Amino acid sequence: GLTAGIVGLPNVGKSTLFNAITQAGAESANYPFCTIDPNVGIVEVPDERLQKLTELVQPKKTVPTVFEFTDIAGIVKGASKGEGLGNKFLSHIRQVDAICQVVRCFEDENITHVAGKVDPIADIETINLELILADLESVDKRIDRVAKLAKQKDKEAAAEHGILVRLKEAFEEGKAGRTVEFTEEEMKIVKGLHLMTTKPMLYVANVSEDEVADPSENPYVQQVREFAAADNAEVIIVCAKIEAEISELDEEEKKVFLEELGIQESGLDQLIRAAYHLLGLATYFTAGVQEVRAWTFRRGMKAPQCAGIIHTDFERGFIRAETVSYDDLLHYGSMNAAREAGKVRLEGKEYIMQDGDVVHFRFNV
Ligand code: GDP
């Protein structure tokens, strides 16, 4: 599965947040395919559509889809030069699909800041610089060889060379690879380079308890927002400490607690949603009397591939997908009513699945 790595300088609230993630974690009994790794936290993706479908279908069981976060400890200055834990840290970041960078935006005299004072932009730049330098090194290692091939009229090499040049330029200006615009075709080549700063980035601004309901007064948050806009990255605001408390509550208690705080959605739920979005993920549903279930797929995937997420046999023997959109199903109130209204479609092999599709796959065994 896809995973988002959590990074950040020491004492910014990473462990607190990651503990909240594992504490709130999905019951592993439902997800036997998930690996047991202390650095991986598995969370259920919050989706109110799943509750609505459950009310409608009254199944024996409801299963949400899950998402993985990986805790990547140990960034240090000089990581790109392989100092200390540096190399290991970078190799872990290479393996994740998106990066969530926790940034300290809370004041607390009792908690030491590694750089002496709260300064989120300096913190971000410290981490990003290590990633940019490591990426620059990767590009430098490759660029001459690719240039030679490009001169020999190798078209693919020529395309890659153009990309490497643009990336190198960005890196030398201290910019992340994700700030360079690429076409979809170019993006395929970029992915193959396994760089770090081309991965999607989410800044997680960790604010204090009394600011989380209304962070507009927090100047650090504004700085992070501005930085993120120029960095082609996204921002969410959490209070890690509160998330740790929330993760110990049940659903009902959680609702009451959030209301008291004046928060619509917990920071953790926002984090899950944002990471999901960042990775270009979407959800389809299966809705039978035995089980109503949410499934994660990548936007752009066709029906047979999506069927293959449930079982490889479903992909191999795919015939068609009986599909109704969640909105139509809810509107008509039952599968039969939706069918009578002509809202249930028979989709074939070329159908590109849409977020919110409720499907029944037909297949040969
Ligand atoms: P890490 O080194 O980034 O993993 O940071 P920790 O999660 O261990 O947090 C460092 C310290 O900051 C701990 O004492 C936390 O309780 C505290 N801390 C984390 N988040 C918050 C927060 O939102 N507000 C306040 N006041 N303290 C926090």
Instruction: Give SS3 for 286.
Output: strand
Domain count, the chain: 2
Is the domain of 273 the same as that of 304? no
Residue 294 lies in a domain: no
Residues 272 and 149 in one domain: yes
User: For position 39, what pLDDT does the model report?
Assistant: 85
Question: Helices marked H in the chain — which ranges?
Answer: 14-23, 48-57, 86-95, 120-151, 155-172, 184-192, 219-230, 240-246, 251-261, 267-278, 303-310, 312-316, 326-332, 335-340
Please identify, among 222, 243, 278, the residue that sits at the C-terminal boundary of a domain. 278
Residue 24 counted as domain residue: yes
Tokens of 354: 């849409």
pLDDT of residue 51: 95
Residue 295 placed within a domain: no
Q: Are residues 217 and 316 in the same domain?
A: no
Spacing, Cα 106 to ligand 1 middle (Å): 9
- pLDDT value of position 158: 94
Query: With pLDDT > 70 as the criterion, what percentage of the chain qualifies?
Result: 93
Q: What is the domain extent for residue 353?
A: 300-363
Residue 293 lies in a domain: no
Please indicate, yes or no, whether residues 249 and 325 belong to a single structural domain of this protein. Answer: no
- In the numeric block, the tokens 């960095």 are attached to 231
Tell me, yes or no, whether 104 and 213 share the same domain.
yes
Q: What is the pLDDT of residue 34?
A: 57
Query: How many other CB atoms are found less than 10 A from the CB of residue 78?
Result: 11
pLDDT at site 82:
58
Is the pLDDT at 199 greater than 80, yes or no?
yes
Q: Which amino acids bring their CB within 6 angstroms of ligand 1?
A: 8, 10-16, 106, 108, 111, 206, 208, 239-241
Q: What is the mean pLDDT of residues 195-204?
A: 96
Q: Are residues 203 and 345 in the same domain?
A: no
- The pLDDT score that the predictor gives to residue 165 is 97
- Locate the ligand 1 atom nearest the alpha carbon of residue 16 and give its number: 7
pLDDT (mean) for 129-154: 93
pLDDT tens-digit readout, 165-175? 999 999 999 99
Task: Tokens 């994740």: give the residue.
Answer: 96
Alpha carbons 10 and 28: distance in angstroms, whole number: 29
Kindly report the CATH number assigned to the domain that includes residue 306: 3.10.20.30
pLDDT digits (tens, 9 = 90+) for 74-120: 555 555 665 555 677 888 899 999 999 999 999 888 888 777 788 99
237 & 346 share domain: no
Whole-angstrom distance, CA of residue 134 vs CA of residue 119: 24
Residue 108 CA, closest ligand 1 atom number: 26
Q: What percent of the chain has pLDDT over 90?
A: 73
Say whether pLDDT at 152 is over 60.
yes
CATH of the domain at 27: 3.40.50.300
Token digits for 287? 């809705």
123 and 203 within one domain: yes
Residues 68 and 20 occupy one common structural domain: yes
- The Cα 307–Cα 295 span in angstroms is 10
Q: Which among 69, 57, 53 has a CA at the least distance from the CA of 5?
A: 69
* Alpha helix (H) residue ranges in 175-282: 184-192, 219-230, 240-246, 251-261, 267-278
215 and 311 in a single domain? The answer is no
In ligand 1, which atom is closest to the CA atom of 238?
A: 23
Confidence of residue 30 (pLDDT cuts 50, 70, 90): low
Computed over every residue of the chain, the mean pLDDT equals: 90
Decide which of 278, 312, 331 is a domain's last residue. Answer: 278
Q: Is the pLDDT of residue 122 over 70?
A: yes
pLDDT tens, position by position, 237-261 = 999 999 999 999 988 999 999 999 8
Tell me the CA–centroid distance for residue 42 and ligand 1, in Å.
21
- Can you state the percent helix, strand and coil of the chain, rounding each to 5? 45, 20, 35
ipTM of the complex: 0.94
Write the residue with the smallest CA distance to atom 11 of ligand 1. Answer: 11
